[in-house]
Amino acid sequence: MESVWQIFSKNQIKQSVLNKIGEGWDVVSRAPGRINLIGEHTDYNGGLVFPAAVDKYMYFACRKNGTKTIKATALDLNEQHTIDLTDLKITGTLWADYISGILLQFQERGYDIDGFDVSLTSEVPIGSGMSSSAALEMGILLAIAKLHNIELSKWDAIQMSQNSNHEFLGIKGGILDQFSSSFGQRDRAMLMDCADRSFEYVDIDLKEYELLLINSCVTHNHLLSGYNDRVLECKQALQEIQKIYPHVASLSDDYAIKDVAFSSEVLYKRASFIAEENQRVREFKSALNEHDLGTCGELLNGSHDGLSSKYEVSCDELDFLAANLKSEPGVLGCRMMGGGFGGCTINLIKSSIRDDLIKDIEKKYIDTFDIKPEFYPVKMSDGAGILED
């Protein structure tokens, strides 16, 4: 296991986290949240993504308890939940259901899982678009495997997580979040082709610029339904493309969109966004290689415009942040990040303006929506791992 997963030490955990989880655990694991520089909603369309793990983690402390139950405590929520290993089912407590779905995946692979106690605490803001859900899944999955001496590759873990999402939770997403949380490396992003899961690490040096996430602090209640709607719409668009181009396997394959008479404007917009977003990913990498951060910023702006007008997964709050960030001196680009309908914008800004920018945007946002936004400077970091003995 040590040869596959990251190893981290106590000096890599904040003292506040150590104080929360305490001592006397058999296994401590962690998994990071993630950002996606560009390439949104392309993952389940066989396209290109450009994610990175970030320096905000979810931690899991586990010990066997000699029963057939999981006694789970979410320390930040001050909530406890007991999971019966003989009757894994949806309960409506979402964080616990994520754990149940992973447990079911182990059982379906023939592993005999013992009962254990687990306490979890998180630096990854929930609903921010940094994918706290993937951090939860990958961290608990890694802890269960270590606790039971089960050898799993990172790709095994990613597949188990996706299966749980699709089959147990009913969330029909791709693998971008789990991949990012698992494979992350410090100061590097990963350009992945989701069609064949090939990827390369890309060193990131932003010089006097940095990445700042701004959390809109809203999560509209159509997030899951809207996400699944987009998955279905893309499948419908693909079926119409295949009438003209039978060889096309995904919306990210090469074809001439002008040749397709889509049955609705909605399907055309979904397909054209995916094609354009994949091209933006390619151009973003080229701009990075040429140290052209200005072009990187323009591509971020273009991505947001497409996500708002063509893919229609933005919202008033995210559009407000994007519009106002674009007009700020020292901001190269901004876009919404994640599934949509709330969460964060990712912003490429000059480091020297961060404090003034935060004050300005915070005031404008509160004046408009009466909501206080949250701000997270982030650095690219290592992926999921186990605390060394």
Which residues are catalytic, by number? 177
- Cα separation, 318 vs 308, in Å, equals 9
CA separation for the pair 338, 311 (Å, rounded) = 13
Count of CB atoms situated within 10 Å of the CB of 234: 23
**3-state SS string over 220-250?**
CCCHHHHHHHHHHHHHHHHHHHHHHCCCCCC
* Strands 69-74 and 116-122, bridge-based pairing: parallel
Closest to 132 measured CA to CA, from 212, 33, 37:
33
Tokens of 112: 């005999």
**Using CA atoms, how far apart are residues 73 and 81, in angstroms rounded to an integer?**
6
Q: Of 55, 24, 210, whose CA–CA distance to 123 is shortest? A: 55
The amino acid at residue 59 is Y
Nearest residue to 334 (alpha-carbon basis) of 343, 342, 344, 345: 345
Residue 6's identity, in one-letter code, is Q
- The Cα 324–Cα 87 span in angstroms is 50
DSSP state, residue 168 = I
Angle (deg, nearest 10), helices 132-147 and 94-108:
40
- Please compute Rg for the chain using Cα positions: 21
